[in-house]
């Protein structure tokens, strides 16, 4: 299997760094390009999520501008981890699973490399897992890095 383009969803977490590093190793060995994707989640502020998780939150213009600035910094930091590799970046607003699946199809991705958050116990069932849902719904191969 020739891997020409790898999608790596990034969120700035420590766990995510391992996925970026693995994608970099694959890209170097396959002479692949990497698309780093950051998703500004359509969701409520975290303080309100647990109690009111059924309510959709709309960002103000100022909040959205601030989130886009943060998104660009996260993408730039991730890109800096991949010297010598052809890297493109994309920031979108939406639901993480939907956006990862959409972008993987639209951008003709050959492989998705993601980190698992390692949620355990009841959290896994209450909050769901982006990685788990991508694995189960993707038409593309997904490499999950613990």
What integer pLDDT is reported at residue 47 of this predicted model? Answer: 47
Domain boundaries, given as residue ranges, for the chain:
5-138
The pTM score is 0.84
Helix (H, G, I), strand (E, B) or coil at 58: coil
Please name the helix (run of DSSP H) or strand (run of DSSP E) that holds residue 76, with its range, or none. Answer: helix 61-80
pLDDT digits (tens, 9 = 90+) for 5-20: 999 999 988 889 999 9
Please name the helix (run of DSSP H) or strand (run of DSSP E) that holds residue 128, with its range, or none. Answer: none
The Cα 17–Cα 146 span in angstroms is 11
| 5-138 CATH | 3.40.50.620
Least confident of 45-49, 76-80, 92-96, 114-118: 45-49
């Amino acid at each position: 299997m020739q891997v020409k383009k790898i999608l790596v969803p990034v969120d700035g977490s420590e766990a995510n760094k391992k996925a970026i590093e693995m994608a970099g190793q694959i890209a170097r060995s396959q002479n692949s390009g990497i698309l780093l994707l950051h998703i500004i989640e359509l969701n409520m502020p975290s303080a309100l999520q647990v109690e009111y998780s059924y309510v959709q939150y709309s960002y103000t213009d100022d909040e959205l501008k601030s989130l886009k600035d943060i998104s660009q910094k996260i993408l730039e930091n991730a890109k800096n981890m991949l010297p010598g590799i052809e890297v493109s970046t994309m920031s979108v607003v939406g639901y993480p699973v939907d956006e990862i699946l959409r972008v993987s199809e639209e951008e003709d991705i050959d492989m998705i490399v993601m980190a698992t958050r390692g949620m355990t116990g009841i959290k896994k069932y209450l909050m769901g897992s982006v990685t788990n849902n991508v694995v189960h719904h993707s038409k593309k191969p997904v490499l999950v890095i613990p």
